[in-house]
């Protein structure tokens, strides 16, 4: 739909990076309109995982994670609506950070689900992550959801000590079907955090977690359906003009301009918002969203941070899940609650399962990015996982 589209202006984050003197190398591949968990839904071609070229890099920001993981660049940006920074970061063995909703301006971001989307960095280590966040975070009047809050110097949070920190381990995230190697890596990482001085509570509960996936796949497609209505073949982007009328051209444009996964989510959203189903689906999903947010709020009254796995499995093979959308959606089961609640979270390398990277997921309360970076940095400095590089 946007194959030949040239943006007439810069995104806010791009302006910030250019003003800081950073060099832009290029744009990276991703799932079409950020809809996917494997970068196989790209309108052009799939991206491959640098650790195993027969496997996916994750998605939707798979190109960003693969480029950083393959040492093609020092950092990259991604967008995270349901895990699209953290999941590919975990699968490619790099650091991926989703800031609090509103911490980074989305001006210039192509909208997927406007109440969930957030921009963040993918880097080789936590220090680089803090440096990029120092540049891109902050208020922007052009984004009505941008938080008018002061931004701390995130590098001040890079302290290799966790004494006095309270860290919770939500049991609901050890989902059925979790890979044994992933489970072992996360349990070892939790033990390491305890060795570093953190007080670990392994009995934290977030009981509504199991409903997050269903909640997300009502809210996100509903918002996507509304956002993608702007692609009508009239204003900009691809335009199919073989019809006899404007309405036929609009139909043809959307038929040939959108890929299968994008069409699937548009149809899901249209159904959820249709007359007779709105209360049963969309309204109920918003109520579940409130419950999930309240459970996180309660957990953060007892804990400074929560840790889980990012993905229940390491990178899967190309084509392995393309025929079963539900199995693909389950790849984001651990990351989606973060977006629903609007809280910040990071993925840092914490081991390997079957020779493939595993990511440790660290979450904190809204706008408490410093705590996340402190925990991530302390863990990183005490281990060697972030130094591992694929054999290219």
The predicted structure's pLDDT at residue 200: 97
Peptide bond into 60 cis (omega under 30): yes
Bridge pairing between strands 199-201 and 166-168:
parallel
Position 33 pLDDT exceeds 90: yes
Q: What are phi and psi of 106, to 5 degrees?
A: -100, 15
pTM of the model: 0.95
Task: Could you please state the CATH topology (level 3) that the domain comprising 12-206+307-387 is classified under.
Answer: Amidase signature (AS) enzymes (3.90.1300)
- Mean pLDDT along residues 65-87: 97
Percent of the chain with pLDDT over 90: 91
Return the C-alpha torsion angle 75, 382, 84, 133, nearest 10: -50
pLDDT tens by residue, 237-268: 999 999 999 999 999 999 999 999 999 999 99
Task: Using the predicted structure, report yes or no on whether residue 281 has a pLDDT greater than 90.
Answer: yes
Across the chain, mean pLDDT equals 95
**With pLDDT > 70 as the criterion, what percentage of the chain qualifies?**
100
pLDDT at 177: 85
Mean pLDDT over residues 65-78, rounded? 97
Please report, for residues 103, 112, 227, 267, 282, the alpha-carbon distance to residue 272 in angstroms, rounded to integers and kept in the order given: 29, 16, 15, 9, 6
* Banded pLDDT at 322 (limits 50, 70, 90): confident
**What pLDDT is attached to residue 246?**
92
Specify the pLDDT at position 247.
94
Q: How many CB atoms lie under 10 A from the CB of residue 220?
A: 27
Under the banding of pLDDT at 50, 70 and 90, the label for residue 227 is very high
pLDDT at 31: 96
Mean per-residue pLDDT for 96-108?
98
Mean pLDDT score, 197-203: 96
> What band does 44 get if pLDDT is binned at 50, 70 and 90?
confident
- Most confidently modeled of 99-103, 160-164, 174-178, 321-325? 99-103
Q: Is it the case that residue 323 has pLDDT exceeding 90?
A: no
Please compute the mean of the pLDDT values over residues 340-368 and round it to a whole number: 98
Provide the 3-class DSSP secondary structure of residue 89. helix
Contact between 86 and 98 under an 8 Å Cβ cutoff? The reply is: yes
Give the model's pLDDT for residue 327. 84
| Annotated domain spans of the chain | 12-206+307-387
Task: Say which residue, 276 or 345, is predicted with more confidence.
Answer: 345
Q: What is the pLDDT of residue 328?
A: 85
């Amino acid at each position: 739909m946007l194959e030949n589209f040239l943006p007439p202006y810069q995104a806010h984050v791009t302006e910030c990076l250019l003003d800081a003197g950073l060099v832009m190398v290029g744009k990276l591949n991703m799932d079409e309109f950020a809809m996917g968990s494997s970068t196989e839904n790209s309108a052009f071609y799939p991206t491959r995982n640098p650790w195993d070229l027969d496997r996916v890099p994750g998605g939707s920001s798979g190109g960003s994670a693969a480029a950083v993981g393959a040492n093609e660049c020092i950092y990259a940006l991604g967008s995270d609506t349901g895990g699209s920074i953290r999941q590919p970061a975990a699968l490619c063995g790099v650091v991926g950070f989703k800031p609090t909703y509103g911490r980074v301006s989305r001006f210039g971001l192509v909208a997927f689900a406007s109440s969930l989307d957030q921009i963040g960095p993918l880097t080789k280590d936590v220090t680089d992550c803090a440096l990029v966040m120092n540049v891109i975070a902050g208020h922007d009047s052009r984004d009505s959801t941008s938080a008018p809050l002061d931004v701390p110097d995130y590098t001040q949070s890079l302290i290799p000590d966790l004494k006095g920190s309270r860290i919770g381990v939500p049991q609901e995230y050890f989902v059925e079907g979790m890979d044994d190697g992933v489970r072992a890596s996360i349990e070892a990482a939790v033990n390491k955090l305890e060795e570093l001085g953190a007080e670990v509570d392994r009995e934290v509960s977030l009981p509504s977690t199991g409903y997050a996936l269903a909640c997300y796949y009502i809210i996100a497609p509903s918002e996507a359906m509304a956002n993608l209505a702007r692609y009508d073949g009239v204003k900009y982007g691809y335009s199919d003009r073989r019809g006899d009328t404007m309405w036929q051209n609009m139909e043809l444009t959307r038929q040939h301009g959108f890929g299968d996964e994008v069409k699937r989510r548009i149809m899901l959203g249209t159904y959820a918002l249709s007359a007779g189903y709105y209360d049963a689906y969309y309204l109920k999903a918003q109520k579940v969203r409130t419950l999930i947010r309240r459970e996180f709020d309660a957990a953060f009254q007892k804990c400074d941070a929560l840790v889980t796995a990012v993905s229940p499995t390491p990178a899967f093979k190309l084509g392995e899940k393309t025929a079963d959308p539900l199995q693909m959606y389950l790849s984001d089961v651990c990351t989606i609650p973060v977006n629903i609640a609007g809280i910040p979270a990071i993925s840092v390398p914490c081991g390997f399962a079957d020779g493939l990277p595993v990511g440790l997921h660290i979450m904190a309360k809204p706008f408490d990015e410093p705590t996340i970076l402190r925990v991530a940095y302390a863990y990183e400095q005490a281990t060697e996982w972030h130094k591992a590089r694929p054999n290219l």
